[in-house]
Chains A and B, each alone.
Chain A
Amino acid sequence: MAPTFGKCFTFCCAKTSPEGDEMATESYEAAIKGLNDLLSKKTDLGNVAAEKIKVLTQELKELDSSNNDAVERIKSGFTHFKTEKYLKNDALFSDLAKGQSPKFLVFACSDSRVCPSHILNFQPGEAFVVRNIANMVPPFDQKRHSGVGAAVEYAVVHLKVENIVVIGHSCCGGIKGLMSIEDDAAPTQSDFIENWVKIGAPARNKIKEENQDLSYDDQCNKCEKEAVNVSLGNLLSYPFVRAAVVKNTLAIRGAHYNFVKGTFDLWELDFKTTPAYAFS
């Protein structure tokens, strides 16, 4: 399989690559010739071929329209942004072109319904955002979790954000996946999902123990919030986070967005050292 890059669009002008089209025509013609040759020898296959060709034609129609739809959607989306935001906020975008200084590092789920730009109305430049399944922050691990580590390191050490917010949400598929794992030792049913959501295992264990009488859905709801707390605790396993929190230059908060009820809960992680005793 040889991937090639084709059909480059620059909005507002679209360019297409002719070489790809010629190759496609040649392979199509060869395929049709092959089919005709076969059917001329085996005429009883005609009806079967006709049915399959109808299905294929329909699939190709849908594919074509869905490809066109996708490109059109992207194009119209960018056009809207450019005319309604970019060109109307010259000063802001001139500043942002030079650099960013967001005050927030936000962890949110990748779920299509919970973008922080929507739910908290963050404008360009305000929030450095990490989005992953179930808005998890794993504990410090240079080998297994370099992705999250890099984002936290860049935001805290280089951009010097003042706030970290971890936002959980209702009906979270990742948390549901976590709560569905009955036996941690059993082989996983997915390639990746279970291993990732198991970051929140302490939350699941706590909820299952303390809320045995609740329905599964209610337990999931509690776990969505408790898993945020596990992530908040994991943040403290990063030395550069700990250093900034101890110096009071960084605040850590958890949140839960419920799109069924239309509510947003926010809480803080209080981290302080009590006066030490000096024995003599």
Chain B
Amino acid sequence: MVVSSISRKKPSLYNALAKSQNPKFLVFACSDSRVSPSHILNFQPGEAFEIRNIANMVPLFDKTQHSGAGAAMEYPITKLNVENILVIGHSRCGGIKALMSIEDDAAPNKSVFIENWVKIGTSAKNKIKEEFKDLSFEEQCTHCEKEAVNVTLGNLLSYPFVRERVEKGKLALRGAHYDFVDGTFELWELDVKTTPAFAFS
């Protein structure tokens, strides 16, 4: 089977990419079939290093339980020197719905893996359930889709190689939410800075 039209139409791009990649973006997106970043942000080959998993989550730094997520960040950040991390949540996310459906965190899981994974976003669920008690379950899920992105952005800072670069201004962290029901895309930034230290004497 031979790759068709695109590579024949852009030989110089593909020749360059055959030698190396130099993406500016590291993108976390959900595995959902409807939210490929290549479609929704029109990323071309070479532009974005992509990690796709259930509910676009990044767990806290954990060499034992989360080597996959750690490896997928360590490589683009320390070897490819990406300049931007973008975490994209989305509407009607099954993973977030599963998270919001967990009534009792201590109860045994009904699934083999799913609940343990989506529980990465537990602090988002708790915050939404408390602040938006009067909203419908679906509206709460929408809020949780965005709040879980914020939890992930925070978790990113638990990786020393992320923290160092963010502090030096070499790496920007952004969150986003793609709503395919309304056709909208929200983007926000995580500002991380140290305020001048006080020196007491």
Contacts and interface: CB of A to CB of B under 8 A. Distances in A.
Given A70-B83, A133-B68, A27 B117 contact: no
Interface-central residue, B67, B95, B180, B188, by most chain A CB under 10 Å: B67
B185 A78 contact: yes
Contacts of A8: 186-189
Nearest to A100: B33
A31 interface: yes
A81 B63 CA distance: 37
Interface string A113-132: 11111110011111111111
B45 A3 contact: no
A139 interface: no
Contacts of B53: 130, 132, 147-148, 150-151
Contacts, number: 277
B86 to A, nearest CB: 7
A102 B79 CA distance: 34
Interface stretch (B70-78, B100-108, B127-135, B136-144): B70-78
Interface string A192-206: 110111000000000
Nearest to A119: B3
Given A122-B36, A128-B32, A87 B183 contact: yes
Interface residues of B, number: 95
B39 A85 contact: yes
A57 B94 CA distance: 46
A193 B192 contact: no
Contacts of A131: 50-52, 72
Contact of B46 (A113, A132, A144, A197): A113
A191 B189 contact: no
Contacts of B31: 128-130, 151, 154-155
Contacts of A136: 68
A115 B50 contact: yes
A257 B18 CA distance: 12
Contacts of A149: 112-113, 117
Given A146-B65, A149-B112, A150-B54, A74 B86 contact: yes
A87 B186 CA distance: 18
Given A3-B154, A5-B190, A192 B17 contact: no
A113 B76 CA distance: 13
Nearest to B83: A66
Interface string A56-86: 0001000100110011011111101110011
Interface of B: 1-3, 6-8, 14, 17-18, 21, 23-25, 31-36, 38-54, 57, 59, 63-76, 78-79, 83-84, 86, 91-92, 94-95, 111-114, 116-118, 150, 153-154, 157, 161, 167, 169, 172, 174-176, 180-181, 183-196
The 5 closest A-B pairs by CB, nearest first: A192-B70, A149-B113, A77-B41, A196-B71, A150-B117
Interface of A: 1-11, 20, 27, 30-31, 59, 63, 66-67, 70-71, 73-78, 80-82, 85-87, 93, 96-97, 99-100, 102, 110-119, 122-133, 136, 138, 142-155, 158, 170-171, 173-174, 190-193, 195-197, 239-240, 257, 259-260, 262-266
Given A132-B71, A150-B95, A259-B45, 15 more contacts: A1-B194, A3-B157, A70-B25, A74-B176, A78-B185, A100-B33, A110-B72, A127-B33, A128-B33, A132-B51, A146-B116, A153-B112, A154-B94, A173-B79, A196-B70
